């Protein structure tokens, strides 16, 4: 049995008219850790019962992912593209992580997605997206 690597938390911020699904990733993820996160995210999103939402992904404390985890990330984002997501903001600690994700997660090209260095600017952008 493989041990899951990577930590996360997930919550829904109802501060705005549109639900904001927020997740924070920490450490390095292997496939097992990513599967746990992916299942939790799917449960959270499906709990919205088709309501439109925006998403904030805080990766400031994340330190990478295995190739297997990145492959799962692409499958997850393919599923996410079929949901009622209006926009997604991803906050990275370094540009190299953004570039790795861009290369390995092509499913995100279909998303209204923007990348940030600060959570506050990401939230401000998401607030604007829900109004348009």
Domain map (residue ranges) of the chain: 7-131
Q: Report pTM.
A: 0.94
Average pLDDT over residues 3-29: 93
Q: CA-to-CA distance for 114 and 95, rounded, in angstroms?
A: 13
Q: CA-to-CA distance for 105 and 28, rounded, in angstroms?
A: 17
Radius of gyration of the chain (CA): 14
53 vs 11, 16, 44, 63, 127, CA distance in Å? Answer: 12, 10, 11, 27, 11
Kindly indicate whether the domain formed by 7-131 is annotated with CATH number 3.40.50.10600.
yes
Q: Say what the pLDDT of residue 130 is.
A: 72
Q: Say what the pLDDT of residue 101 is.
A: 94
């Amino acid at each position: 049995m493989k041990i899951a690597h990577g930590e996360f938390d997930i919550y829904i911020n109802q501060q705005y008219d549109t639900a904001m699904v927020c997740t924070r990733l920490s450490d390095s993820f292997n496939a097992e850790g990513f599967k746990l996160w992916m299942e939790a995210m799917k449960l959270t999103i499906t709990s919205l019962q088709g309501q439109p939402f925006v998403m904030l992904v805080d990766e400031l404390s994340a330190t990478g992912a295995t190739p297997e985890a990145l492959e799962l990330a692409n499958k997850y984002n393919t599923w996410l593209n079929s949901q009622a997501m209006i926009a997604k903001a991803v906050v990275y600690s370094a540009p190299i992580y953004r570039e790795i994700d861009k290369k390995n997660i092509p499913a995100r090209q279909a998303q209204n997605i923007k990348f940030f260095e600060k959570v506050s600017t990401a939230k401000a952008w998401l607030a604007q997206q829900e109004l348009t």
